[in-house]
């Protein structure tokens, strides 16, 4: 067990909560729907909050947590008086609540902002809600031929179907390894993949099929694939297999087509469980994985609808064009808070916590004139808080300074940071938890 604290801030963060957006991404302007002339407070129970209101949020000069010393109008509600004097940088929306829904700090929480890769939180929730945390993506291996066990030859074509978003180089070698275990060393036929097959983070089925062909045959295998396989063996605690080099040669070419009716299933390669895929997606803020996971549900619109319906969010408060956070997305802090609570409840239903799918640290973003969006759970000695901080139109580094200072200040007002107890499992170990299953329900790790 490891206890993590950083700058005295004990917070579960998702990289999807705090993410860099590539500078090549188009800079977005105003939200895509009109804002109210003044923020409309959401119905929450406040503990004698201090209230200051204004018509529109405006950028401030510095992000440091100090008294403003200026007449710049602000709009916020807070149950901690010192927070009424905190200067909030840029065009920002903030909402901090305890687990009972009592407001600790609220500023322009009904205004729409660019959530950056906080969108990945929505995608993570949607796939966990739809598939469940233990779901494994299947990649099925078929043939229309027969195996000659004497010569170790499969006479016929090999078919591979599946849409596993994390099917990678080592998994292709795992296919060869399993064929070798069945006595197959060569295939007198073609390699045929279905049009939804993706490998090595490439969605082009033809190219993915060519990659698979290259890694299956040790004579054609690139060093990167060999390294990936050796790392997989180490992370899956199968180091005793390092001396064996899986290899299957294929005489024919690579084609993309649908499965014919005369094929029979040899075995299935199953991915690591969904919870580990989500954890990895959020830790690396991986746009490819997030988009692929969203596609499993029907795309960004489907992700948004799942969130809207389950978290009871008005559609205009949660507008997505992508499942990763790239592109034009607009979310209010109130809506993001409701998503956090809904996700927290879904995790609890599966005996999980934020720690099971979120990393303990994150990175920033740069779009809409500079964006840094942070959300998560704060642990204090006086209880846990949920928070959403959307900053845009300013310096990302200064936004981060503000976020760290604000969270530290809030924790200081509530007895200080409560350390987190966290069992660290390396992501490579999590991702190595794959397995092979057979039509007769036999299963083994590969």
| pLDDT for 66 | 36
Neighbours of 146 (CB within 10 A): 11
| pLDDT for 407 | 92
| pLDDT for 238 | 78
Q: Do 104 and 169 share a domain, yes or no?
A: no
Q: Do 264 and 300 share a domain, yes or no?
A: no
Q: Do 194 and 297 share a domain, yes or no?
A: no
| pLDDT for 239 | 66
Give Dmax over CA atoms of the chain in angstroms.
Answer: 87
| pLDDT for 415 | 94
| pLDDT for 358 | 86
Is 85 exposed, middle or buried, given 0-12, 13-18 or 19+ CB atoms closer than 10 A? middle
Both tokens of 354, joined, read 């934020």
Q: 3-class SS at 417? A: strand
| pLDDT for 362 | 38
| pLDDT for 442 | 56
Alpha-helical regions (H) of 32-161:
119-131
Q: Is residue 436 part of a domain?
A: no
Total domains in the chain come to 2
φ and ψ at residue 213, rounded to 5 degrees: -60, -40
Q: Do 285 and 417 share a domain, yes or no?
A: yes
Q: In terms of DSSP bridges, do strands 330-331 and 146-148 run parallel, antiparallel, or are they unpaired?
A: unpaired
| pLDDT for 443 | 54
- Give the domain-ending residue among 250, 271, 292: 271
Q: Do 111 and 170 share a domain, yes or no?
A: no
- Please report, for the domain that includes residue 166, its CATH number: 3.50.80.20
Both tokens of 14, joined, read 């998702």
Q: Domain of 395?
A: 2-132+276-428
Q: Is residue 443 part of a domain?
A: no
Q: Do 261 and 315 share a domain, yes or no?
A: no
Q: Is residue 414 part of a domain?
A: yes
pTM: 0.82
| pLDDT for 240 | 66
Cα(190)–Cα(184) distance, integer angstroms: 15
Q: 3-class SS at 309? A: helix
Under-50 pLDDT residues of the chain: 1-56, 59-74, 361-366
Cα(100)–Cα(81) distance, integer angstroms: 20
Q: Is residue 444 part of a domain?
A: no
């Amino acid at each position: 067990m490891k206890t993590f604290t950083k700058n005295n801030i004990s917070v579960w963060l998702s990289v999807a909560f705090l993410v860099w957006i590539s500078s090549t991404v188009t800079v977005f302007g105003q939200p895509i729907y009109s804002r109210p002339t003044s923020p409309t407070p959401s119905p929450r129970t406040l503990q004698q909050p201090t209230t200051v209101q204004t018509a529109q949020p405006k950028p401030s000069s510095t992000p440091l947590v100090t008294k403003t010393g200026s007449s710049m109008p602000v709009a916020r509600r807070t149950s901690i008086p010192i927070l009424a004097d905190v200067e909030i940088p840029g065009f920002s929306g903030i909402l901090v609540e305890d687990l009972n829904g009592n407001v600790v700090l609220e500023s322009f929480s009904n205004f729409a902002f660019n959530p950056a890769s906080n969108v990945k939180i929505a995608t993570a929730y949607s796939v966990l809600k739809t598939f469940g945390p233990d779901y494994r993506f299947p990649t099925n291996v078929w043939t229309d031929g027969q195996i000659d066990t004497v010569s170790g030859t499969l006479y016929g074509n090999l078919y591979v179907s599946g849409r596993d978003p994390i099917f990678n180089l080592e998994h292709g070698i795992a296919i060869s390894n399993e064929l070798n275990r069945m006595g197959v060393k060569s295939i007198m036929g073609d390699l045929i993949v279905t049009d939804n097959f993706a490998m090595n983070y490439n969605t082009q089925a033809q190219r993915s099929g060519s990659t698979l062909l290259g890694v299956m045959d040790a004579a054609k295998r690139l060093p990167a694939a060999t390294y990936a396989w050796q790392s997989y063996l180490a992370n899956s605690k199968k180091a005793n297999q390092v001396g064996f080099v899986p290899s299957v040669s294929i005489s024919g070419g690579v084609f993309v087509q649908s499965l014919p009716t005369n094929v029979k299933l040899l075995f299935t390669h199953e991915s690591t469980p969904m919870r580990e895929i989500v954890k990895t997606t959020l830790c690396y803020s991986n746009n490819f994985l997030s988009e692929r996971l969203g596609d499993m549900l029907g795309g960004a619109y489907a992700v948004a609808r799942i969130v809207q319906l389950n978290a009871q969010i008005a559609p205009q408060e949660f507008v997505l064009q992508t499942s990763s956070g790239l592109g034009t997305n607009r979310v209010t802090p109130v809506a993001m808070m409701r998503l956090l609570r809904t996700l927290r409840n879904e995790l609890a239903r599966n005996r999980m916590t934020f720690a099971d799918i979120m990393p303990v640290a994150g990175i920033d973003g740069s779009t809409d004139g500079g964006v840094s969006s942070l959300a998560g759970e704060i642990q204090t000695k006086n209880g846990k808080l949920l928070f959403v901080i959307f900053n845009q139109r300013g310096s990302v580094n200064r936004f981060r300074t503000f976020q760290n200072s604000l969270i530290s200040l809030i924790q200081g007002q509530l007895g200080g940071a409560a350390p987190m107890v966290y069992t660290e499992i390396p992501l490579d170990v999590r991702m190595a938890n794959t397995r092979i299953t057979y039509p007769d329900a036999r299963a083994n790790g590969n």
